[in-house]
C-alpha cells in the first residue's frame, strides 16, 4: 500500500480497514491501479468541484471539496453525505482523501454514520437561523438538485456546537490524520494526474 497514516485508537478489521470502537466510524485505505475517476485535474478547481457536485447529487450530496497537501503531494479532500442504506432515516458522512497520479491513486477515508436520534443538528439550526436561510444554492453548482439537499447545517462553523455529530467527527479525523499521512517514495515520484482520459 503506497500510503500510511496514524491509526491510534482504532481497531483493525483487516489489513486496509479499521473501526473506531467508540463511534462505529469506519476508516479504510485503498490503492487503485487505474486512471483516477475525477472530472478535472486538481488545478482546475471550479470544474472539478462542479463535476464532483453533479456526481454526488445522484446518490447524496457533496458538502465541500478542497485541494490539500498530503506528504508534500497534491490531493483532493471531499466531504459527502449519503442516506444510510436500508434505513428510513439517517445519513452517513464520508470524508475521503485521494492522492491522484497519472495512472493510479491512493485513497483513505472515514465513514461516520448517524446513530440514535437523527437530524438533530439540522432541526436545531433550522430554528436558530431560520428556514429561509437553511437551503442556499449549492456553492459549486447553483441550481443543482440532488437526492439530498445542500444546506447550511453542514457548514463547518457549526461543528463546535455539535462536537459528537458524524460530520464533525469526519472533519476532526481529517484534521488529525492528514498531517500523519506518508506516501511511499516510489508512488510520490509518479507523474501527476493530468485530467480524465479523453474518449
Domain ranges of the chain: 3-184
pLDDT of residue 129: 95
pLDDT tens across 118-147, in order? Answer: 899 999 999 999 999 999 999 999 999 999
* Per-residue pLDDT reduced to its tens digit, 94-120: 999 999 999 999 999 999 999 988 899
pLDDT of residue 199: 60
Give per-residue pLDDT as tens, 29-85.
999 999 999 999 999 999 999 999 999 999 999 999 999 999 999 999 999 999 998
pLDDT at residue 86, rounded to an integer: 86
- Partners of 192 in the β-ladder: 101
Beta bridge partners of 67: 76
What would the mean pLDDT of 182-186 be, rounded to a whole number? Answer: 98
Domain 3-184 has CATH 1.10.3470: no
- The pLDDT value recorded for residue 88 is 83
Amino acid at each position: 500500500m503506497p500510503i500510511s497514516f496514524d491509526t491510534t485508537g482504532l481497531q483493525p478489521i483487516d489489513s486496509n480497514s479499521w473501526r473506531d470502537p467508540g463511534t462505529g466510524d469506519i476508516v479504510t485505505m485503498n490503492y487503485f491501479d487505474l486512471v483516477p475517476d475525477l472530472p478535472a485535474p486538481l488545478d482546475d478547481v471550479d470544474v472539478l468541484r462542479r463535476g464532483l457536485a453533479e456526481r454526488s447529487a445522484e446518490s447524496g450530496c457533496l458538502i465541500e471539496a478542497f485541494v490539500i497537501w498530503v506528504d508534500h503531494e497534491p490531493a483532493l479532500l471531499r466531504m459527502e453525505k449519503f442516506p444510510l442504506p436500508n434505513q428510513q432515516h439517517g445519513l452517513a458522512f464520508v470524508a475521503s482523501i485521494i492522492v491522484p497520479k497519472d495512472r493510479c491513486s491512493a485513497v483513505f477515508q472515514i465513514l461516520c454514520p448517524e446513530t440514535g436520534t437523527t437530524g438533530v443538528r439540522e432541526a436545531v439550526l433550522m430554528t436558530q437561523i431560520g428556514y429561509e436561510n437553511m437551503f442556499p444554492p449549492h456553492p459549486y453548482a447553483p441550481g443543482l438538485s440532488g437526492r439530498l439537499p445542500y444546506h447550511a447545517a453542514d457548514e463547518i462553523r457549526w461543528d463546535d456546537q455539535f462536537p459528537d455529530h458524524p460530520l464533525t467527527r469526519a472533519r476532526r479525523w481529517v484534521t488529525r490524520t492528514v498531517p500523519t499521512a506518508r506516501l511511499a517514495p516510489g508512488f510520490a515520484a509518479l507523474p501527476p494526474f493530468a485530467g480524465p482520459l479523453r474518449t
